[in-house]
């Protein structure tokens, strides 16, 4: 993995660390990806995109409360993240349908947490 080589040569190379985290997430190596996103955010706590990506990962892992916090933080840091991907990116990625936006997913998770708390004895 070229990211690992870059990080070994330059331990604080944030772009390589971000790339590694995203790659691990895409490969389904969720625990490693979460650790990698945590490293990224320690180096760059102002990265709205990294908070959004970590939220997506936490959401996928079932850590809904943590995902809610990260989605919310990412959207507040960069409101444009909440708009979803543009038509050109969908074209390049060959996506036929719009995906759920971050604010839409955030609302779904909030509703899910509310429903779970109501069902508890």
Domains of the chain: 2-119 (1.25.40.10)
- pTM, two decimal places: 0.84
What confidence score (pLDDT) does residue 86 get? 58
pLDDT tens-digit readout, 37-63: 999 999 999 999 999 999 999 999 999
Q: Report the half-sphere exposure of 13 (CA within 13 A, side-chain side).
A: 13
pLDDT on residue 101: 84
pLDDT-above-70 percentage for the chain: 86
Quick check: 93 pLDDT over 60?
A: no
pLDDT class for 92, splitting at 50, 70, 90? low
- Give 38's contacts (C-beta < 8 A, 6+ positions apart): 54
Indicate the Cα dihedral angle 95, 101, 102, 107, nearest 10°: -140
Confidence of residue 118 (pLDDT cuts 50, 70, 90): confident
How far CA 5 is from CA of 15, 21, 39, 80, in Å, comes to: 13, 14, 16, 33
Question: Each residue of 15-31: pLDDT tens digit?
Answer: 999 999 999 999 999 99
Instruction: Select from 16, 102, 8 the least CA-distant residue to 55.
Output: 102
């Amino acid at each position: 993995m070229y990211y690992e080589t870059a990080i070994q040569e330059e331990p604080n190379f944030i772009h390589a660390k971000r790339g590694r985290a995203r790659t691990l997430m895409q490969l389904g190596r969720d625990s490693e990806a979460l650790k990698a996103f945590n490293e990224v955010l320690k180096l760059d706590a102002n990265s709205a995109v990294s908070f959004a990506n970590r939220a997506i990962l936490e959401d996928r892992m079932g850590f809904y409360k943590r995902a809610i916090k990260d989605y919310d933080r990412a959207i507040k840091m960069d409101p444009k993240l909440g708009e979803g991907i543009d038509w050109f990116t969908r074209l390049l990625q060959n996506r036929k349908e719009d995906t759920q936006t971050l604010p839409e997913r955030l609302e779904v998770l909030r509703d899910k947490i509310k429903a779970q708390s109501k069902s508890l004895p």
